[in-house]
Amino acid sequence: MTSARRRTRGRLPVVLVLPAVVGLAFLLVPLVGLLVRAPWDTLPEQLFSSSVGEALRLSLVCASLATVVCLVLGVPLAWLLARGDVPGRGVLRALVTVPLVLPPVVGGVALLFVLGRRGLVGQYLDAWFGISLPFTTAGVVLAEAFVAMPFLVISVEGALRAADPRYEEAAATLGASRWLAFRRVTLPSILPGVVAGTVLCWARALGEFGATITFAGNFPGETTTMPLAVYLALETDPDAAIVLSVVLLLVSVGVLAALRDRWISGPS
């Protein structure tokens, strides 16, 4: 026992462990606060109420779909920023992070400006195809994707920069187009980075509130995700809101712990 656990390196330094523990406490104690104050007796009732179940299901579905959208659009975008020989990459990269800074409600308004019924693009979608995105589940997915995509793009771009481009060159000398090289050589080699980005992206989409309610509105079963349900519950029954948050939180920690353990702690 002792021998198996003997440390190669000396004691953990207090000067690092202390702030680390404080930091951990800072992040976790508020959650403990929530858990302590949550009216647990109402949990089963809440959990099995159909509206909560519906909101939870909708949240998971929309966050997952938004993540898929982010993957489909964001991974190529990350590739373009990391490898494509485009001018003004620095500014582009900074612009990509903008949805991070924009208050989500304003992000929702911006989406309405563009994709709303009278929006720059939306008016034609409506007039030509009869497609209207606001107030639909598709709108929720779009709003979540808009807010969450920067995380994916920045993570994947980082992984791409760290990947050795010589493998892509090797693939090229074997006759592989850039697309094939990307798909069969680069992507598998940066998979852990993509998974990490996906996790951040999914978590952000799951928690998204402001842009969603602004762009997609709030209609039970169609656009009411958990954060919206939490917000409305806060208006009338703060305790219920806390229980809902805790439910959302447990589900996401479960998913993240499973995923991250599997994918990310592998190499270390």
Residues that bind another protein (CB under 8 A): 1-3, 6-10, 105, 109, 112-113, 116-119, 122, 126, 132, 134-135, 166-167, 169-178, 180-181, 184-185, 188-189, 213-214, 216-220, 222-223, 228, 231-236, 238
Torsion of CA 16, 19, 24, 29, to 10 degrees: 150
Q: d(Cα 239, Cα 234) in Å, to the nearest integer?
A: 8
Burial class (CB in 10 A: 0-12, 13-18, 19+), 250: exposed
Residue 97 vs 123, nearer CB to another protein: 123
Collect all residues with Cβ–Cβ distance below 8 Å to 199 and sequence separation of at least 6: 256, 259, 260
212, 208, 209: which is closest to 109 by C-alpha?
Answer: 212
Closest approach of another protein to the CB of residue 238, in Å: 6
Q: d(Cα 49, Cα 91) in Å, to the nearest integer?
A: 48
In the list another protein, its own copies, none, the entry touching 80 (Cβ below 5 to 8 angstroms by class) is: its own copies
Closest approach of another protein to the CB of residue 122, in Å: 8
Residue 202 vs 212, nearer CB to another protein: 212
Closest approach of its own copies to the CB of residue 18, in Å: 8
In the list its own copies, another protein, none, the entry touching 132 (Cβ below 5 to 8 angstroms by class) is: another protein
In the list another protein, its own copies, none, the entry touching 18 (Cβ below 5 to 8 angstroms by class) is: its own copies
In the list another protein, its own copies, none, the entry touching 235 (Cβ below 5 to 8 angstroms by class) is: another protein
Closest approach of its own copies to the CB of residue 222, in Å: 19
Closest approach of its own copies to the CB of residue 63, in Å: 9
Residue 129's CB is within 10 A of a number of other CB atoms, namely 8
Collect all residues with Cβ–Cβ distance below 8 Å to 3 and sequence separation of at least 6: none
